[in-house]
Amino acid sequence: MSRPATVDFLQIGEGIELRRTVVRNEGANGIVFLLHGFPETLYAWQGVVGALAGDYEVHALDWPGYGFSSRPTVDRFPYSPADYAQVLDRYIQKTGIEPSRLVIYATDIGALPALLLAVKTPTIARKIIVGDFAPFNRPQFMYAGLQGLKTGPAMEQVRANMNGGRDQILESAFTMGLPKEAHFEVAADFKDDMLRGWSHGPMTPVDAFSQYYSHFTRDQDYFESKLADLTTPVKVIWGEDDFFINKEMGVELAKRLGTQLKLLRGIGHYPHLQNPKLVAGEIRTEFE
């Protein structure tokens, strides 16, 4: 029997406190860890959590810089994919999650950290599901506007523009590039949570996102150089109509890993918001 989801805070190191949600289940068939992307918070997973809660123990968190987790200054926490990998590792160690029972579903900024951790610790999970992110430095497969966040003269201007466009980001990012008939509404409490958490602490999510991107090429190149060392089972799921990261990025990743690729027809960059039951179903298959 599952218990109601709890939302609390977990200290995982000096200056890093994470807001998280956990669903406990006495008869759990396994453990699921959900890792969000930009500009989301843990509330992005409400639909997926609801579909899984009856059978699994489920964890989700706000990354540092997002929601109501800590936002340390960049001299203390650089917000790189490699730093987020350490956050994930500390969370798993701190909570005592049993890796042999764990499936990680990671999207957008959450995916590369999960894979970086798996390169270092192959037994971190029984399966990692990733999608709609940029594992490699392939500008031709990425939305051109994102490239400006990488190191270069335009970085600060792009960050300023994005910070100034908060309302537009939260209103339109989730359906960007989808035909009008495929548009969907995000839950009001999720949108409210993003708005309330936007200015929590000295950095906005855009600032954290920009810092992530400033280290992105370095960590992408490192991951690509270590691809042969990745032995943790991986499944790749991609929104076929992803506007921000072209599906060809997922095609290349799956091919080079020699693993399964599932393209979700009619789905954009945020499958877990657009069709949470579909995503929950993909996670369930990894426990069968």
Rg of the chain's alpha carbons, rounded to an integer? 17
Please determine, for residue 37, whether its predicted confidence score (pLDDT) is greater than 80.
yes
Q: Which CATH class is domain 6-287?
A: alpha beta
The band of 149, judged by pLDDT with boundaries at 50, 70 and 90, is: confident
Q: What is the pLDDT of residue 2?
A: 60
- Spatial separation of the C-alpha atoms in residues 180 and 178, rounded to whole Å: 6
Please determine, for residue 262, whether its predicted confidence score (pLDDT) is greater than 70.
yes
Please determine, for residue 25, whether its predicted confidence score (pLDDT) is greater than 90.
no
Q: What is the pLDDT of residue 198?
A: 96
Q: What is the mean pLDDT of residues 248-272?
A: 97
Please determine, for residue 193, whether its predicted confidence score (pLDDT) is greater than 80.
yes
Q: What is the mean pLDDT of residues 160-177?
A: 94
pLDDT digits (tens, 9 = 90+) for 196-218: 999 998 899 999 999 999 999 99
Going through 67-119 in order, the beta strands assigned E by DSSP cover 102-107
Please determine, for residue 147, whether its predicted confidence score (pLDDT) is greater than 90.
no
DSSP H or E stretch at residue 239: strand 234-239
Please report the DSSP string for 128-187 in residue order: EEEESS-SS--GGGB-HHHHTTSSSTTHHHHHHHHHHTHHHHHHHGGGTTS-GGG--PPP
- Spatial separation of the C-alpha atoms in residues 202 and 211, rounded to whole Å: 13
Query: Which residues touch 161 (CB under 8 Å, ≥6 apart)?
Result: none
Structure-model confidence comparison of residues 5 and 57, the more confident one: 57
Please name the residue that has the structure tokens 């599932």. Answer: 262
- Spatial separation of the C-alpha atoms in residues 164 and 167, rounded to whole Å: 8
User: Among 81-85, 86-90, 150-154, where is mean pLDDT lowest?
Assistant: 150-154
Q: Is 223 helix (H, G, I), strand (E, B) or coil?
A: helix
